[in-house]
Copies of this chain bind each other. A is one copy, B any other.
Amino acid sequence: MALLEDAASLALENSDIPDVDAIIVGSQTSDELAKVANLGTRLADVLGLSGVAAWRVENSSGSGSALLEAATLAVRSGHYSNVLAVGGEKMTDKPTPVTAKVLGRVLADTEIALGLTMPSLGAMVARMYMERYGLSRETLAMVPVKAHANGARNPLAHFRKEVDVGNVLSSPMVADPLRVFDCAPISDGAAAVVVTSQRTDVEIAGVGHGTDRIALADRRGNGLRATQLAAAMAYKDAGLTPEDVDFAELHDAFSILEIIDSEDVGLFPRGEGWKALEAGTTGRDGEMPINVSGGLKSRGHPVGATGLAQVAEVVWQLRGQAEGRQLDDVKVGLTQNIGGFGSNNLVTIMRRV
């Protein structure tokens, strides 16, 4: 609760919104890991906002974006004017195997029965992409290298230490070919924004949301279809195209995902995301900076907060408030957030107005 309260208080302080009329809070594991219930009411209570409507939205690791979508639609409907959106997760209190077991329940029953885990699915996806499109293990390592370089400049990052390809390739194996440095950490954290019907300097231009079969074995096509559907919806909602996007925050829970995500949201053609990475296009000085915050790998991955932390980064960048990591002259930013192992994904597009 303290994490949620801190983030919410900062968001309220930094906004010019005096009267919040609803709170939407998100967390994936609060019931089982933190053993705390009635989150929305509890948050209203500690913030001194008892009276206002309060919900919880839960969408596994996509909770942060899903609750922002809910807040956006609640405001667009005209029913609420100022919605405080807060996502957070307290994950480090339990031993990692316990946390991992709870997180792994989002997989298909058949996958759980087979002993499959998030990293093992990530490994299969990585192997397939590498074989199909010619990505090398060394180039894949450039994802966490970039993430740590970016995160080192972000005062709010979980890890603020640069690493090189050698560090990545010598880190312990998790699920071949993925190593420790290919995997986002288990983090504690929270993020909050206020969504308002008032005219402000940053607009939520588009929201999109898609799902796919839960079991990886049941899916067809390349990349993550749930992201592709979400991106199509978000671009349509915003009246924008991938060409309009200046930078993006993508869900790099595993290194390979950043590359696939960048293709799924249309920033690069299928199979060519790794070439953009290799060429430096997705670096902070490149044409399409990706995860300038440090991404899930370096900024951290408190699951219920992640999608909203991505949104907060985009808002800071669009406002010129990204201390130590500000991009020049950005007008449109995109976030992509994964729920489950890519089974429930969301895309949000924001624009400076």
Residues of A within 8 A of B (CB): 22, 28-29, 31-32, 35-38, 40-42, 44-45, 49-60, 66, 69-70, 72-74, 76-80, 102, 105-108, 207, 209-214, 218, 225-226, 229, 233, 237, 339-340, 343-344
Give min CB distance, A113 to chain B, whole Å.
Answer: 13
A74–B76 Cα gap in the complex (Å)? 9
Given contacts A29-B31, A45-B211, A73-B74, 10 further A-B contacts (CB under 8 A): A37-B106, A38-B60, A38-B105, A38-B214, A41-B212, A50-B213, A54-B59, A55-B70, A56-B57, A79-B207
Known: A22-B209, A51-B210, A209-B22. A105 touches B59 (CB 8 A): no
Q: Give this chain's copy count.
A: 2
Check if B105 sits within 8 Å of A44, measured CB to CB: no
A29–B281 Cα gap in the complex (Å)? 45
The A interface, classified by DSSP as helix, strand, loop or mixed, is mixed
Residues of B within 8 A of A102 (CB): 31, 37
Check if B45 sits within 8 Å of A213, measured CB to CB: yes
A302–B167 Cα gap in the complex (Å)? 52
* Candidates B45, B66, B78, B210; contact of A76 at CB < 8 Å: B78
* Candidates B41, B80, B210, B211; contact of A343 at CB < 8 Å: B41
